[in-house]
Structure 1
Amino acid sequence: MMTPRERVEAALRGHEVDRIPFTVYETKIPQCETERRLRNEGLCIIDRRIPGYEVKFNNVEQESVHFRGKDGIPRIRTIIHTPVGDISALERPAPRTSWSEEKLFKSPADYAPIEYMIRDQDYLPNYDAFLKAQQAAGGDVFFRATIGYSPLQEIIYGLMGVEQFSIEWAERRDKVMRLYDALTENRRKIYAVVAESPALAVNYCGNVSPEVVGRARFEKYILPHYNECAEIMHKHGKLLGVHLDANNRLLAPLIADSKIDYIEAFTPPPDCDMSVAEARRMWPDKVLWINFPSSVHLAEPSVIEETTRQILKEAAPGDRFLLGITEDVPPDRWQQNFSIISRVINTEG
């Protein structure tokens, strides 16, 4: 019998598996008796905490200020000091994540320090940490490297936010493109480091909302980065995937022609607009690593069971397919729901 990690690796490579891999992000399941039982049943933890590199600033300094707002809620103000000006962001910590309340970009005056910050970054290998964690974790944890957002997605979601980006794209596109070009050079530094890392699989970018970027911008400003990165990863025996967790129908033909190896966090109906069966037909040579639709976690146990069974049916014969949990599940539901999914996979997958 395969270990959970072996099962994930085989599925990602397109090799035969003894059953469909069942996976969950390391932040989406607490350590407890049920978690241990599920791992014994075959659940694989996907650990994304060690990207395979460290970020180094050369002439930029960063400080974090922890405080409570007037509402009593803890917040973190991150201040970036550059030779051409300071910028800051505000976050509200939450369990296993954080909420952005202020982005680094707030006005056109922030273009210069943000560009300086981007160009000042270097990336150093951190392979030993990756290897040690992988060896210590054993056979039911899979460590996956990450590159972060592609340039345009970083501008939209990391630096500006959708509304501010829309304004800047309309009024100061030349300045937006300077950031885009700087980020393109920045990401190429990461490609080189991650390509030589011990990781088998690398996630790059994602959270692509076609309602925001549209087909044309995706094809011109996002897809080329996937293909460039994939070519580099393939030369070093790596697999490249993208976290495509939104409506994918509009972009599906472009994704089909891309050089990426796996589509990760793909979410079928009722949450998004493509079924597993449609995805398998559209992307026959891609690995499909889905997210169990989050809204269904609120349904009755019988619906959880039937949804799992339908997903497996649409994924048949089951090659190049993984079923995962990539989103938060209500605390009072995860033990029951994960147990049902695990049982159906182990008996029918």
Structure 2
Amino acid sequence: MTSKERLLAVLNDQHPDRIPWAPLIDGYYTSSLAEQGIHEMNVVETLRYIGADVFERHVPVVREKTDASVKYSVRREGDKEIQTFETPVGSVYQVYQQGGNTSFRIKHFIENKDDVKTYKYVVQSRYYEPDYQPFIKEQDYIGDDGLATASGPLTPIQVLLQDIMGIEGFTYAVADYPDEMHDLMEAMHKSNLECYKVMAESPAEIIIVYEDTSTTVMSPRWFDMYCTDYLNQYADVLHKAGKIYISHMCGKLKGMRYQVANLTVDGVDSICPPTTGDTWAHEALEMWPGKVIIGGIEPPALKRMSVDQTKEYVLDILENIAPGDRFILSTGDATSYGTPIENLIAITELIKQYGNYPIKF
């Protein structure tokens, strides 16, 4: 089988020739290659270099725009970046600060009730246009080496928790002004549905929503209230168009086992074991029969381990998930900056030796 055929086999509940090995590689990791004395490579080149099955993330299929009544601007002040939306009902802004090899948010868009009204206006001004050609070009570039995947919009609560308000801000807001927060989330959901309708007509076969679900950021009750119905509606739009819909859930999930079971998504991506996560791949396969499980390797552990330790770690995963139905071996979220590329190549060699389907020990 080609890598593309192998990945599609698993995603369509068929049996591959061997377990796919498709680590989540992004620009954060590739930017560290020079430190290892390796020439600069893009994501697809890096995956080819290590001999993995290409499963590229975040390939665009949609252009998000706002109408002329909203003006968006970005300016820099020293090591800070300020992003601002100006609308007829007010302005909101957020601030990022650069630090080391990354940046982090030090102010959110929404900090009070007036900001909720303004940001709702921004959401309602949005519309979506097809942008399919970049995706077609990227899939042609990948060819039989794997698949390009597109990214669908998150549930409103996840956007608010991760980006727009933060956990503390959202928690106080839903208690202090629940009606305004409900209206905002409904507006965000309506906007998401319009985006998913455009994605449903796209050439992307696989759509991934990066929910980053974890009991460290929300309770099972909140998931029931704010995620389940929305995600299932998005899945319905995509399934009607023959798409595969996967939810990226890279956190601690055992406390959400019943909530995830109630989702109609086709798979769960970036399953992460302890200590970053709390769920081993074989446990996820047992908890969610019928769903494809992607992940299994804790990224920080992969960075720390020697080649021999990496092989022992992955052999244990393969033994526990045998015979290997519905499973794609990957990192449980993005491969850490500076992970020795020898560890990634060692996993490729191990999969070729021990990963034939069905796995037998």
Shared fold (TM-score greater than 0.5)? yes
Counterpart-to-counterpart distance in 1, 2:262 and 2:273: 21
SS of 2:255's equivalent in the other structure is coil
Residue 299 of structure 1: CA displacement? 2.6
**CA 1:141/1:156 → structure 2, altered by over 3 Å: closer, same or farther?**
same
Matched letter for residue 329 of structure 1? S
Q: Give the alignment partner of residue 243 of structure 2, picking from 235, 238, 241.
A: 238
Counterpart-to-counterpart distance in 2, 1:129 and 1:166: 38
Query: Are 2:11 and 1:12 aligned?
Result: yes
The answer to whether the Cα contact below 8 Å between 1:87 and 1:110 also exists between their aligned partners in 2 is yes
Which residue of 2 is the match for residue 260 of structure 1?
Answer: 265
Counterpart-to-counterpart distance in 2, 1:38 and 1:189: 33
Matched letter for residue 25 of structure 2? Y
Which residue of 1 is the match for residue 60 of structure 2?
Answer: 51
The answer to whether the Cα contact below 8 Å between 1:26 and 1:45 also exists between their aligned partners in 2 is no
Counterpart-to-counterpart distance in 2, 1:128 and 1:40: 26
Matched letter for residue 45 of structure 1? V
SS of 1:213's equivalent in the other structure is coil
Residue 139 of structure 1: CA displacement? 2.7
Residue 93 of structure 1: CA displacement? 4.9
Counterpart-to-counterpart distance in 2, 1:176 and 1:66: 31
The answer to whether the Cα contact below 8 Å between 2:50 and 2:344 also exists between their aligned partners in 1 is no
Which residue of 2 is the match for residue 343 of structure 1?
Answer: 349
The answer to whether the Cα contact below 8 Å between 2:212 and 2:250 also exists between their aligned partners in 1 is yes
Counting aligned pairs with the same residue, the percent is 26
Cα RMSD between the aligned structures? 2.2
Matched letter for residue 56 of structure 2? D
Counterpart-to-counterpart distance in 2, 1:281 and 1:34: 40
Residue 287 of structure 1: CA displacement? 0.2
Residue 313 of structure 1: CA displacement? 1.3
The answer to whether the Cα contact below 8 Å between 1:26 and 1:46 also exists between their aligned partners in 2 is no
Query: Are 2:140 and 1:130 aligned?
Result: no
TM-score w.r.t. the length of structure 2 is 0.88
**Of 4-13 and 172-181, the range deviating more from structure 2:** 4-13
Counterpart-to-counterpart distance in 1, 2:103 and 2:14: 37
Residue 37 of structure 1: CA displacement? 8.2
TM-score w.r.t. the length of structure 1 is 0.91
**CA 1:113/1:11 → structure 2, altered by over 3 Å: closer, same or farther?**
same
**Of 54-63 and 319-328, the range deviating more from structure 2:** 319-328
Give a deviation string over 1:100-128, Cα, whole Å, max 9, x none: 22111122221121000000000111112
SS of 1:250's equivalent in the other structure is helix
Query: Are 2:312 and 1:302 aligned?
Result: no
Which residue of 2 is the match for residue 71 of structure 1?
Answer: none
Unaligned runs of 5+ in 2: 356-361
Unaligned runs of 5+ in 1: 69-73
**CA 1:34/1:132 → structure 2, altered by over 3 Å: closer, same or farther?**
closer
Residue 63 of structure 1: CA displacement? 0.9
